[in-house]
């Protein structure tokens, strides 16, 4: 199937993902964990993971065990870490599929130990340390005891230790430095108490990996950067990273509406003269927000969306585009001619972050994969 089969579709440039992972490896000198949770930030977890591995990623990271199992079933053989909570009852599946789990709570750790005793294999765990994110993580003062306890248990292998930054994408470096210091203290404690460090040590998300040299350790956990998304407006990607995702559709109707004609629910847009109004089959059920002052690209020019965005459709004003015809291609995110609309542009318009834009793209939109294998040369340059 190609784009001709669809009314709206996402194009995912796998060469961009390969390129971005390879850039991350070059700049960090650490192993890369490709974060492919939430359906690979909307890009499709399995193709994104495969492309990331081709680009040099050694690990994949997901939020939930079911996401890890989907990768295993698709044939991915690299180590996979579940970053979130895993119910103890699912331990046998994690063991059978060699999926590593996050441990951050002594009570949960005891449940894992009990399940591991009943199993035949080994549970690999990464201990997560709370250093300032206020989410999952063991109090640094209790981390050594937890690691010591886990190491004494049969069937448990402490494979990693990690933390997560709350503000690595902000210009103020102080809080990240504080988190790093707290994490480093735990690592120093492990070394000086004769416990030794687990094989994998990681702290950095994309912003941490790019902007905090001392926070890379031997593994970086990158999502945004591998998809070519800026970690934040204040922490843009370096040159040579490319966005992997474009969102396209086509014009499904064009007609002239006479002056004073209402457009869409609530007639919140009224034509001021005879206006050429097109329809495009994307709406809020696809992930386009129901907000005013949005634009799309048609024939390389910006065209305003007018009237309320409907569930599956919205209207565009085509007066400035006399050449526009039925079924012409429309770009919601991506490049057309010399212009581009980025996920960052939409995020700004919606008052949110680019992560939410791409994660909000509906599953019903087909994903078309470009450059499924080959050189690290992205199809689109931003």
Ligand X SMILES: Cc1ncc(COP(=O)(O)O)c(C=O)c1O
d(CA 17, CA 378): 8
d(CA 382, CA 379): 10
CB under 8 Å to 319, separation ≥6 — which residues? 275, 276
Candidates 40, 47, 88, 231: give the one binding ligand X (CB under 6 A).
Answer: 231
Q: Between residue 35 and residue 54, which ones bind ligand X under the rule CB under 6 A?
A: 35
Q: Which is nearer to ligand X, 9 or 162 (CB)?
A: 162
- Residue 255 · residue 243 · CB < 8 Å: no
* Assigned token pair, 70: 């989907």
Q: Which is nearer to ligand X, 23 or 250 (CB)?
A: 23
Q: Of the ranges 175-183, 221-229, 263-271, 304-312, which one interacts with ligand X (CB under 6 A)?
A: 221-229
Q: Between residue 320 and residue 379, which ones bind ligand X under the rule CB under 6 A?
A: none
Q: Which of 213, 255, 265, 381 is catalytic?
A: 265
Choose among 22, 20, 30: nearest CA to 213: 30
Does an H or E element contain 275, and which? strand 275-280
CB under 8 Å to 260, separation ≥6 — which residues? 270, 271
Residue 370 buriedness (CB in 10 A; 0-12 / 13-18 / 19+): middle
Q: Which is nearer to ligand X, 210 or 305 (CB)?
A: 210
The reply to whether 265 belongs to the active site is: yes
Q: Of the ranges 189-197, 220-228, 260-268, 286-294, which one interacts with ligand X (CB under 6 A)?
A: 220-228
Q: Which is nearer to ligand X, 34 or 331 (CB)?
A: 34
* Assigned token pair, 226: 């591998």
Q: Which is nearer to ligand X, 31 or 83 (CB)?
A: 83
* Assigned token pair, 110: 């005891």
Candidates 224, 251, 297, 331: give the one binding ligand X (CB under 6 A).
Answer: 224
Q: Which is nearer to ligand X, 9 or 217 (CB)?
A: 217
The reply to whether 41 belongs to the active site is: no
- Least distance CB 76 / ligand X (angstroms): 18
Name the β-bridge partners of 357. Answer: none
Q: Of the ranges 45-53, 223-231, 289-297, 336-344, which one interacts with ligand X (CB under 6 A)?
A: 223-231
Q: Between residue 77 and residue 136, which ones bind ligand X under the rule CB under 6 A?
A: 83
d(CA 28, CA 49): 19
Q: In sequence order, what DSSP letters do the residues of 230-289 get, joined into one string?
A: -SBTTBPPPTT----EEEEEE--EEEEE-TT-EESGGG-EE-SSSEEEEEES--TTTT--
Q: Between residue 141 and residue 180, which ones bind ligand X under the rule CB under 6 A?
A: 164
- Least distance CB 20 / ligand X (angstroms): 11
| Coarse DSSP helix, strand, coil percentages of the chain, rounded to the nearest 5 percent | 35, 25, 40
138 binds ligand X (CB under 6 A): no
Candidates 44, 198, 223, 228: give the one binding ligand X (CB under 6 A).
Answer: 223
The mark string for 180-219 relative to ligand X (x by CB under 6 A, - otherwise) is -------------------------xx-------------
Per CB under 6 A, residues contacting ligand X are: 35, 83, 164, 205-206, 221-225, 231
Q: Give the active site residues.
A: 37, 265
């Amino acid at each position: 199937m190609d784009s001709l089969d669809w009314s709206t579709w996402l194009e995912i440039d796998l060469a961009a993902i390969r390129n971005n992972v390879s850039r991350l490896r070059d700049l960090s000198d650490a192993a890369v964990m490709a974060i492919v949770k939430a359906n690979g930030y909307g890009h499709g977890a399995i193709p994104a993971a495969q492309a990331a591995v081709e680009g040099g990623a050694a690990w994949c990271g997901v939020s939930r065990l079911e996401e890890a199992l989907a990768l295993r079933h698709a044939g991915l053989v690299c180590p996979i870490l579940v970053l979130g909570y895993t119910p103890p009852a699912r331990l046998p599946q994690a063991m059978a599929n060699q999926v590593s789990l996050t441990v951050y709570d002594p009570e949960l750790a005891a449940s894992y130990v009990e399940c591991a005793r009943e199993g035949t294999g080994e549970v690999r765990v990464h201990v997560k340390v709370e250093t300032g994110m206020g989410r999952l993580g063991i109090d640094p003062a209790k981390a050594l005891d937890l690691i010591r306890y886990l190491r004494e248990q049969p069937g448990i292998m402490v494979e990693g230790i990690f933390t997560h930054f709350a503000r690595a994408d902000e210009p103020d470096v102080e809080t990240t430095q504080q988190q790093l210091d707290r994490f480093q203290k735990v690592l120093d404690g492990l070394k000086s108490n004769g416990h030794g460090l687990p094989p994998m040590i990681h702290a950095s998300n994309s912003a941490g990996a790019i902007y905090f040299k001392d926070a890379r350790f031997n593994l970086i956990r990158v999502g945004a950067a591998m998809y070519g998304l800026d970690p934040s407006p204040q922490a843009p990607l370096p040159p040579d990273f490319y966005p992997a995702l474009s969102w396209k559709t086509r014009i499904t109707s064009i007609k002239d509406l006479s002056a004073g004609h209402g457009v869409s629910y609530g007639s919140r847009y009224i034509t001021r003269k005879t206006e050429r109004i097109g329809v495009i089959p994307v709406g809020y059920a696809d992930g386009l927000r129901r907000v005013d002052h949005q634009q799309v690209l048609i024939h390389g020019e910006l065209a305003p969306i007018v009237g309320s965005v409907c569930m599956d459709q919205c209207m565009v004003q085509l007066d400035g585009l006399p050449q526009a015809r039925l079924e012409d291609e429309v770009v919601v995110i991506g490049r057309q001619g010399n212009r581009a609309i980025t996920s960052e542009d939409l995020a700004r318009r919606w008052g949110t972050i680019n992560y939410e834009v791409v994660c909000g793209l509906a599953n019903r939109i087909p994903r078309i994969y470009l450059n499924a294998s080959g050189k690290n040369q992205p199809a689109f340059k931003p």
